[in-house]
Amino acid sequence: MYTIDLSGKCALVTGVANKRSLAWGIARELADAGASLILTYQGERVRDYVEELAAEVPGTRLYECDVSRDDSLDAAFENIRKDTPRLDYFVHAIAFAQREDLGGKFFDTSREGFHVALDISSFSLLALTRRVVPMMPDGGSIVSLSYIAAQRAVPSYNVMGTAKAALEQMTRQLAMELGPQNVRVNCISAGPVSTLSARGVSGFTGMLGAHRERAPLQRNITHKEVGTTGLFLLSDLASGITGEVIFVDAGYHVLL
Ligand SMILES: NC(=O)c1ccc[n+]([C@@H]2O[C@H](COP(=O)([O-])OP(=O)(O)OC[C@H]3O[C@@H](n4cnc5c(N)ncnc54)[C@H](O)[C@@H]3O)[C@@H](O)[C@H]2O)c1
């Protein structure tokens, strides 16, 4: 049997809010493969849940980091740098849009709503990568999470589709810039999975049903499948892959 041994490696995973978070699915796989974990969480609202999960993996360190605020990013990284000499992996699993922008008409999106969605869901990849890469002197690997609405028109997903299109483009741009430092940057385009954020999209249950009925594999994907793909992309098994968007969607994206 082939095993992935990440002992001695350190992963920074953002975006864990609770046990259903896709970030936690990836974090679990990394931890099971032997990596040590650093988790950042948005704020007090999710702190208790994240602490409970972190306790499942001894040695996991937690830091509060609200990516919409530079002071919060700076404070988090000041502390992370104090406690951690080096990072090998970084998972970006953060997205947010105002509730009124995840339903109705895309053309009604306000300037404020557009700004919030792109700032938190897309710019944060840059803001975090800029702080993470200096901690990867021997190279590293970065993974973020997208959705098919980056490449297709999807009802209700609206401005979040715009944000994901930006994220996928940023994946390619960052891959080009960071390749010479042996830092790989990839993206997982996941099919719908029931999480806190996903349930905020109007008609999400219908999206789950449509994928289940139409996808070539005739089912929805699991947290675990996102987790194992994250593990693959972050590990040396994917050492030749950068700038890529990999679909984990039971094949839904191949359909017309
Ligand atoms: N669940 C799905 O169906 C699905 C499908 C494709 C892609 N994705 C993507 O997966 C990623 C993770 O989402 P999820 O579905 O696991 O939901 P989730 O709600 O568990 O995770 C979203 C995370 O974003 C964090 N966040 C929001 N605003 C933040 C801020 N200002 N600062 C720091 N953190 C902030 C939340 O605290 C939360 O941990 C997102 O990028 C999402 O778009 C999800």
Domain count for the chain, please give it. Answer: 1
11 DSSP β-pair partners? 37, 89
Let me know if residue 256 belongs to a domain.
Answer: no
- CA-nearest residue for atom 1, ligand 1, is 193
Q: Does a structural domain hold residue 32? A: yes
Q: Look at residue 3 and tell me whether its pLDDT is greater than 90.
A: no
Q: What is the structure's pLDDT at 108?
A: 96
Which among 63, 89, 147, 252 is annotated as catalytic? 147
Residue 211 CA: distances (Å) to CA of 149, 225, 248: 13, 15, 12
For residue 49, give both structure tokens. Answer: 């849940």
pLDDT in tens, 136-159: 999 999 999 999 999 999 999 999
Q: Is 77 in the pocket of ligand 1 (CB under 6 A)?
A: no
Please check the confidence at residue 67 and state whether its pLDDT lies above 90: yes
154 in a structural domain: yes
CATH number, domain of 83, equals 3.40.50.720
How far apart are the C-alpha atoms of 38 and 155, rounded to whole Å?
36
The span from the CA of 247 to the CA of 217, in Å, is 13
Q: pLDDT tens, 169-221? A: 999 999 999 999 999 999 999 999 999 999 888 899 999 999 999 999 999 99
Ligand 1 in reach of 93 Cβ (< 6 A) = yes
b/e burial code for range 59-70 (CB count within 10 A of at least 16 → b): ebbbbbbbbeee
